[in-house]
Amino acid sequence: MARLKNIEELKKIRTEAQKELLIRTQTGTRIIVGMGTCGIAAGAREVMQAILKELETRKIEAHVETVGCVGMCAKEPLVDIEQAGKSRIRYANISPENVPRLVEEHLVKGNVIQEWAIGRLDARKIQ
Amino acid sequence: MRELSLHILDLLENAVEAGASRIELKVEEDLKADWMVIEVADNGRGMSQEVMEKALDPFCTTRTTRHVGLGLPLLLEAARRCGGDLVIQSNPGKGTRVRATFRHSHIDRAPLGDLAGALMAILLSEHPVDLDFCHCIDSEVFQLDSSEIREELGDVPLSHPKVRDWLFDILREGETALADKREERPPTL
């Protein structure tokens, strides 16, 4: 059986998180990283970690999720950014070095980085 | 794949794609016997005998978006070049078990690498899945069952930033402690 390191710590996190959960799901940001074989081989895990680190450094609270192969293997690592009420933007060939600019431009300033973006999904089609 | 943890992430991703709700991952390092075993078992949709026979062929895949399936063939080659092997057992509707073995001290054996990062990638999957993880190096063991954490969290997802950071710390600490134990041991001659 797993040993939870600090169950009290987890309970505290749960209480704090529940307060914010409704607000976050309605207005929050999702960052989606392709994690199929192609993505893994191209460095998607490192990109995901760079995103987590950048979010932590800048104190930005966003949900990070992983998905399987979407069929654009040559464009991996693929990173989608989805913000409530806005189009979902797909960025291609993202490396860990690209992540600070991606977060700065897209999440902080609200600008799509045109030279990295390869697709846009209309907000109404998302869920 | 330059790390075995990337192969592990690929196996876990296969299980998620197969619709598994629970995955068991065991990484066993027996330094005295000089073996490393990686085993992933899931409760996904499983494979028929026909599909299973083709699973190790890089030019076969069940996907329709492309015509190659490289994950398992790459792992098979990684295991065989280290004096090990890969065995797949699967039952349609019940799940799949993949077991890869490696000679631990083999010069071609890739390092395990960043296993905590690989596990985190699967725990953040858009398809929530429970991961029962066990890593042992001889008698030292690090275990974590995400279902227990989910139960404690209720409706708060593992991808919540606060939970995510907490979980990543636990995985990194557990794996670092095991790696320290490994380093203390004399190299196999």
Domain-located, residue B171:
yes
CATH 3.40.1410.10 corresponds to the domain A27-125 = no
Give the pLDDT confidence of A29-41 residue by residue, as tens digits. Answer: 899 999 998 999 9
Q: For a pLDDT cut of 70, what percent of chain B falls above it?
A: 92
- Please report, for the domain that includes residue B172, its CATH number: 3.30.565.10
Q: Is A74 on the interface with B (CB under 8 A)?
A: no
Q: Within an 8 Å CB–CB cutoff, is residue B140 touching chain A? A: no
Interchain contact B50–A (C-beta under 8 A)? no
According to DSSP H, which parts of B18-127 are helical?
49-54, 71-80, 115-123
Tokens 């990109």 label which residue? A47
- Report, as an integer, the average pLDDT of B166-170: 91
Q: Where are the domains of chain A?
A: 27-125
B189 Cα to chain A: minimum distance (Å): 32
Using a CB–CB cutoff of 8 Å, tell me whether B56 touches chain A: no
Tokens at A56, concatenated:
């932590």
Q: Return the pLDDT at A23.
A: 53
d(CA B88, CA B189): 31
Question: A81-118: per-residue pLDDT in tens?
Answer: 998 878 899 999 999 999 999 999 999 999 999 999 99
Q: Is residue B147 part of a domain?
A: yes
Q: How many domains does chain B have?
A: 1
Residue A2 pLDDT:
43
Looking at residue A74, what DSSP letter applies?
A: G
**Rounded Cα distance, B124 and B164, in Å:** 8
User: Mean pLDDT over residues B87-102, rounded?
Assistant: 94
pLDDT at B54 over 90: no
Print the domain residue range for B64: 4-184
What is the ipTM for the molecules in this complex?
0.80
* N residues, chain B: 189
Q: How far is CA B114 from CA A33, A99, B109, B137, in A?
A: 17, 19, 15, 16
- Contact list in A for residue B160 (CB cut-off 8 A) is 17, 21, 24, 63
Half-sphere exposure of A50 (CA within 13 A, CB side): 18
Q: Beta strand B86-91 with B95-103: parallel, antiparallel or unpaired?
A: antiparallel
Residue B162 domain-assigned (yes or no)? yes
Contact A103, A59 (CB under 8 A): no
Q: Residue B80 falls within a domain, yes or no?
A: yes
Which positions in chain B touch A44 (Cβ < 8 Å)?
Answer: 121
Confidence class for position B113, pLDDT limits 50, 70, 90: very high
